[in-house]
Amino acid sequence: MMDTICIEELEVFYRVGVPDEERARPQRLLVSVYLETDFAGAVAGDDLAGTIDYFAVCQRLLGLGEGRSWRLIETLAVEIADLVLEEFRAPRVTVEIKKFIIPETRHVGVRVTRPMA
């Protein structure tokens, strides 16, 4: 059985964009992460050790952009998915990134889903 931990619209500031000018300053992005896991162990003992610590995931993502830049949000989304799978051992993860660069849209974004290898 799979359950889902939802981190919705974590506000981060990363340097991302194709033109150099766009990457010159960090810009606001909203990152959502959906971690599929089995809550059975956590529920049985009401113990954080049996699940994924969503606070730790958020802290890791908040610091991810320090000293880094990406040209594509697609690359960033896959990197976040890979990081969550490797560091937090989620069996499956979906990552969505929203970017606010085109004034005529509410946002542009990407969504990737990756299973643990």
Delineate the domains of the chain, giving CATH numbers in brackets: 3-115 (3.30.1130.10)
pLDDT above 80 (res 115): yes
Strand 69-70: give its sheet, edge to edge. Answer: 69-70, 3-16, 27-37, 92-99, 108-115
**CB neighbours of 6 closer than 8 A, spacing ≥ 6?**
32, 33, 34
pLDDT above 80 (res 1): no
Burial of residue 58 (number of CB atoms within 10 Å: 0-12, 13-18, 19+): middle
> What's this model's pTM, rounded to 2 decimal places?
0.94
Amino acid at 96: E
Say which of 99, 105, 110, 116 is annotated catalytic.
Answer: 99
Question: In the chain, what percentage of residues exceed pLDDT 90?
Answer: 94
* Residue 98 annotated as catalytic: no
